[in-house]
Structure 1
Amino acid sequence: MKKHIRVILICLSLPFLWTSCTEKKINLGKDISFDKEENVHYGQSSEQIMDLYIPHTKTIKEKNIFIMIHGGGWRSGNKSQLTFFTLSMMERFPDHIFVNMNYRLTSETHYGLPNQMNDIKDVSAFLEKKLGYSSKLILLGNSAGAHLSMLYAYKFDSYKKVKAVINIVGPADLSDPGFKNYQEYSFVERRLVDPRVVESGTSRIDFASPVKWISESSPPTLSYYGNSDRVIPSSQEKILDSVLNKNHILHESYQFNGGHLDWDKHPNDQFLIKKIEAFLKKTGKK
């Protein structure tokens, strides 16, 4: 990665530079620059914050928005995990707006859903008010963030604002016997979904499974899975591809060499970015 991006990350990591890094212009070279607003509050909770990157471009046309959603088993993690990858994406997509968001985490006292779905919805509403127009959204998440991206796009996006989903090592079917080996599965069963929001006749696990909500109107989906992932079994990729095929949804699926956390390591990260660019061109959304 270029030296100037490393400098930006140093700025983000030093407490005594916090104020100067809060709002500034980020230069990525090749006439690529963004205005950055850090830790913007989009809701009342202290967890509801995001980093916002708006490009400097000569065109005044409405810009598509990447919403980056971190992983962490629904109960941990932070947007800082995706900062470096977000900057790499900004180099490849200089005409897009980028949001790197935190969301309310699941705990023994707070259910994850529907809160985490509402957080994505609130980010979208915040952006629409700030920008003055309703933009097309591209949801990109890894692990639990990929699950939330798919679930929101397939079930909760009632106004069809999501035009593409980038699913990176995301669980798509929580009822899959292979996924039940996940070490936190009992927590997922108990605390991911508030039972009060589940429709009669639907289990909480099915309610939280993105594949259960795929229809012919679901958005195009690109998936990326590790060939030696011990967290997300290979059956998840197969199940998701099968349901997308059945519903005639444009989709692509790729594998990288490595485990659950290796997707953003070189050369896996650059391969993924190239595939995202090609995929969005196919969908006509870039």
Structure 2
Amino acid sequence: MEEGYLGELPEKRLNIFRPKKIKEALPVLVFIHGGSWRSGSKEQYSLIARRWARRNIVTVIIDYPLSPEYKIHSMGKASAKALNWVEENIADFGGDPEKIVVSGHSAGGHLASLISIRDEYFDSLGVKNPIAATVLIDAAGFDMYHYFKEKNNAPGTSHLKTFTDSPEVWKDTSPIYFLHDNMPPMLIMMGGKTEESIIEGTHRFIKEYKKFEPEPSFKVQKSKRHIPMMLQMVYTPGRGFRWVTKFVKSVGE
């Protein structure tokens, strides 16, 4: 793993959204934003977070250090660190630390799947993995090793600034190679008109995932492109929003 995996990370904050009245501990949704691992911020998702909070889900939007200054393992560790903070503190905000669901869109979906499947990021912090379930929304990066081998990018270009020039790191950060029997349950959503690399990567991932979960919760929205897969969460009556809400509330039942 590249240098910095166990090193210091920049201080990051998170935003918490909760209902005004909480009668009992509520399920928690921790969302990791997309942006090709090099852009995006938690502030962009406040409207969506408020909508989930109105559905009695304590919602946490996190930030993580971005490329090119930081590499992929540091992003994974930062995400794990945020999840650990949530587990230790969310009860103070009305959330149930036993019902933490991690979610992400695009690059955030990659990070959510990576820390859900690989405990190493939590191990590096000396804590247990608190993730009870996972929601992946048009996730990228399920198999970056295959992606880079196919692309044959020149060293230092594009996503290689995030994933380094090392094939070992590519494989280390590709969730498809680390599937196992004790993974948290997953809701996997994909747009039928999203980016070709996401369609290919998701279908490859689902094929391997079925070896552990023969009937995966996999939903394809045939008419949706990449960005609209997340934009639909703004509209509370929408199918995607309802799927995520129902899944989060089913955790632990």
> Does the pair score TM above 0.5?
yes
Match among 276, 280, 283 for residue 244 of structure 2: 276
Deviation at 1:212, TM superposition (A): 1.1
- 1:170 paired residue number: 139
| 1:224 aligned to which of 189, 198, 202 | 189
- 1:9 is matched with which residue? none
The normalised TM-score by structure 2 is 0.77
Q: Which moved more, 1:136-145 or 1:239-248?
A: 239-248
* 1:170 CA drift (Å): 0.9
Q: Distance in 1 between matches of 2:64 and 2:233?
A: 29
Distance 1:182 1:227 in 2: 26
State the alpha-carbon separation in 1 of the partners of residues 34 and 153 from structure 2. Answer: 15
Aligned equivalents of 2:233, 2:16: Cα separation in 1: 27
Distance 1:57 1:170, change over 3 A: same
- Residue 61 of structure 2 aligns with which residue? 100
Kindly state the Cα deviation for residue 167 of structure 1 after the two structures are TM-superposed.
0.6
Is residue 80 of structure 2 the alignment partner of residue 125 of structure 1?
no
Greater RCO (CA < 8 Å, at least 6 residues apart)? 2
Distance 2:99 2:29 in 1: 9
Contact 1:219 1:249 in 2 (8 A): no
Aligned residues of 1:262 and 1:268 also touching (Cα < 8 A) = no
Q: Secondary structure at the match of 1:68?
A: strand
Q: CA RMSD in A?
A: 3.2
| Conservation of the 8 A alpha-carbon contact between 1:227 and 1:259 | yes
User: Who wins on radius of gyration, i.e. which is larger?
Assistant: 1
Residue 65 of structure 2 aligns with an amino acid whose one-letter code is R
Retained in 2: the 8 A contact 1:168–1:225? yes
Instruction: Output the CA distance in 1 between the equivalents of 2:151 and 2:200.
Output: 12
The 5 A counterparts of 1:31-70 are 45-46=10-11, 48-61=12-25, 63-70=26-33
Question: How many residues end up aligned between the 2 structures?
Answer: 231
Correspondence 1:1-286 to 2 at 5 A:
45-46=10-11, 48-61=12-25, 63-92=26-55, 94=56, 96-107=57-68, 109-113=69-73, 115-130=74-89, 131=91, 134-156=97-119, 159-171=128-140, 172-177=142-147, 180=150, 186-192=157-163, 203-230=168-195, 232-248=197-213, 251-256=216-221, 257-266=223-232, 270-280=238-248, 284-285=251-252
Structure 1 residues 204, 116: closer, same or farther in 2, change over 3 A? same
Report the identity percentage.
16
Q: Cα offset for 1:181? A: 5.3
Partner SS for 1:137:
strand
Contact 1:244/1:250, CA 8 A, preserved across alignment: no
Deviation at 1:164, TM superposition (A): 1.2
SS of the aligned residue for 1:168 comes to strand
Cα distance, 1:52 vs structure 2: 1.0
State the distance in 2 between where 1:280 and 1:148 align: 18
Question: How much has 1:233 moved relative to structure 2?
Answer: 3.5
Q: Is the 8 A contact 1:67 1:101 kept in 2?
A: yes
CA contact (8 A) 2:133 2:184 kept: yes
Normalised to the residue count of structure 1, the TM-score between the two structures is: 0.69
Contact kept? 1:218, 1:249, Cα under 8 Å: no
Question: Which ranges in structure 2 are unaligned for 5 or more consecutive residues?
Answer: 1-7
Q: Write the distance in 2 (CA, Å) between the matches of 1:151 and 1:80.
A: 23
Deviation at 1:231, TM superposition (A): 5.6
Does the residue aligned with 1:222 lie in a helix, a strand or coil? strand
| CA distance in structure 2 between the aligned counterparts of 1:182 and 1:265, rounded to whole angstroms | 32
Q: Give the secondary-structure state (helix, strand or coil) at the position aligned to 1:119.
A: helix
